[in-house]
Amino acid sequence: MPIRPLPDTLINQIAAGEVVERPASVVKELVENALDAGARRVDIDLEEGGIRLIRIRDDGCGIAAEELPLALSRHATSKIASLDDLEAVATLGFRGEALPSIASISRFSLSSRRATDAHGAVLRVDGGKAAAVAPAAHAIGTTVEVRDLFYNVPARRKFLRAPRTELGHIEEWLRSLALARPRIDLRLAVDGKPARRYRAEADNPGARVAEALGPEFFGQSLRIEHSASGLHLHGWIGAPPYSRALGDQQYLYVNGRAVRDRHLGHAAKSAYKEVLFHGRQPAYVLFLELDPLRVDVNVHPAKHEVRFRDARLIYDFVLGALREALADSRAQHAAAMAM
Ligand code: ADP
Ligand code: MG
């Protein structure tokens, strides 16, 4: 075959392979966009575990009608403009890939209105083919509708699981987001019925932790707050003997972004080595904050992983912070027992 450039839709579908694994990935990308747009409230509507419909509505800044096609073009973003911006990126998104990818593998629509617009506008896209922008009634903010995910990519559709399983993935992702964003009002409706509500907790982030992980964890957790070398760690860690059979309550965030990091997971586990029975897993909700220049978030399109400049220092910092908190709580416990 001769060498030919790929058609745009196919390029987007290939990119979608990296970003969109299942309905939960779509929900993640769209809700992150809502948060980047400054939303205070996000409504998520699902049908059939998101396979039939995912609708995300926010009250964020909105998109100008004339920019709707741009929002759907590849590598177009309002979030960064230079390498310097990328290195210091503070938004959840920056690659300009999610919307075009999702629109290429679904029946898609993007409706929006800014505070300064007299009315809203909508752009519909079917399997990557866009219609013209049309006027539409819309409150201030943005709604994205994704219907029939993978309808035109049978190979991927085959890998979707039962709606209940897909819904489980979405709820788990939402829980991890809810922990990190206590000030955002998050509402999930499933097949037309309200299913989950995380109320905005302006001054009491602990209430969100109790809501998301249950009173059992919250009641047996220690508040942690530790700073050194420009690193700041805060959150809640399970107080032994509280522990889990699985690592299903281990939430780690770097600059507000949920990440999986084997290295830091190992640091946390080591801190608990002396205080948990063999085979038991610690539970924690930990937020690590540091200068964005010290961490690279552009490791994978889905951004689940990060790379630290001084990984060793950060490992020791997290290990030390947790050890200290656990030792303090043991000392307090012993003192209370002695009284
Ligand atoms: P990225 O988030 O990496 O910029 P996306 O493809 O997810 O890329 O979105 C493209 C652009 O569309 C964003 O940069 C933003 O300007 C705009 N956009 C997407 N979703 C929203 C939203 N909910 N509210 C306001 N603007 C949005
Ligand atoms: Mg995005």
pTM of the model: 0.95
CATH code for position 268: 3.30.230.10
Q: Is 132 inside a domain boundary? A: yes
Query: ipTM, 2 decimals?
Result: 0.99
Q: Is 272 inside a domain boundary? A: yes
Domain count, the chain: 2
Q: Which residue's CA is the closest to the ligand 1 atom numbered 7?
A: 98
Question: What pLDDT is stored for residue 319 in this prediction?
Answer: 98
CB–CB of 274/280 below 8 Å? Answer: no
Q: Is 32 inside a domain boundary? A: yes
The pLDDT tens digits of the residues spanning 199-245 come to 999 889 899 999 999 999 999 999 999 999 999 999 999 999 999 99
Residue 33 Cβ inside 6 Å of ligand 1? The answer reads yes
Q: Is 323 inside a domain boundary? A: yes
Question: What pLDDT is stored for residue 235 in this prediction?
Answer: 98
Question: What pLDDT is stored for residue 334 in this prediction?
Answer: 81
Question: What pLDDT is stored for residue 303 in this prediction?
Answer: 87
Q: Which residue's CA is the closest to the ligand 1 atom numbered 20?
A: 33
The pLDDT tens digits of the residues spanning 145-166 come to 999 999 999 999 999 999 999 9
Give one DSSP letter per residue of 32-77, joined into a string: HHHHHTT-SEEEEEEEGGGTSEEEEEE-S----GGGHHHHTSTT--
Residue 29 scores a pLDDT above 90: yes
Domain enclosing residue 90, as ranges = 8-198
HSE (side-chain half, CA atoms, 13 Å) at 199: 8
**More confident: 48 or 298:** 48
Average model confidence (pLDDT) across the chain: 95
Chain center to CA of 164: 20
Ligand nearest to the CA of 86: 1
Identify whether residues 166 and 245 lie together within a single domain.
no
Residue 339 scores a pLDDT above 80: no
Residue 34 Cβ inside 6 Å of ligand 1? The answer reads yes
Distance (Å) from CA 102 to ligand 2 centroid = 11
Identify whether residues 27 and 174 lie together within a single domain.
yes
Question: What pLDDT is stored for residue 332 in this prediction?
Answer: 83
Identify whether residues 188 and 224 lie together within a single domain.
no
CATH code for position 92: 3.30.565.10
Which pLDDT band, with edges at 50, 70 and 90, does 338 fall under? confident
Identify whether residues 102 and 238 lie together within a single domain.
no
pLDDT, mean of residues 29-43: 98
66 token code pair: 């004339």
Atom of ligand 1 nearest to the CA of 29: 7
Q: Is 3 inside a domain boundary? A: no
Residue 19 Cβ inside 6 Å of ligand 1? The answer reads no
Residue in 31, 36, 58, 95 to alter for ligand 1 test, most ligand atoms within 8 A of Cβ: 36
Question: What pLDDT is stored for residue 336 in this prediction?
Answer: 81
Identify whether residues 240 and 149 lie together within a single domain.
no
Percent of the chain at pLDDT exceeding 70: 100
Of 326, 240, 314, residue with least CA distance to 283: 240
The pLDDT tens digits of the residues spanning 163-211 come to 999 999 999 999 999 999 999 999 999 999 999 999 999 889 899 999 9
Atom of ligand 1 nearest to the CA of 61: 25
Identify whether residues 179 and 78 lie together within a single domain.
yes
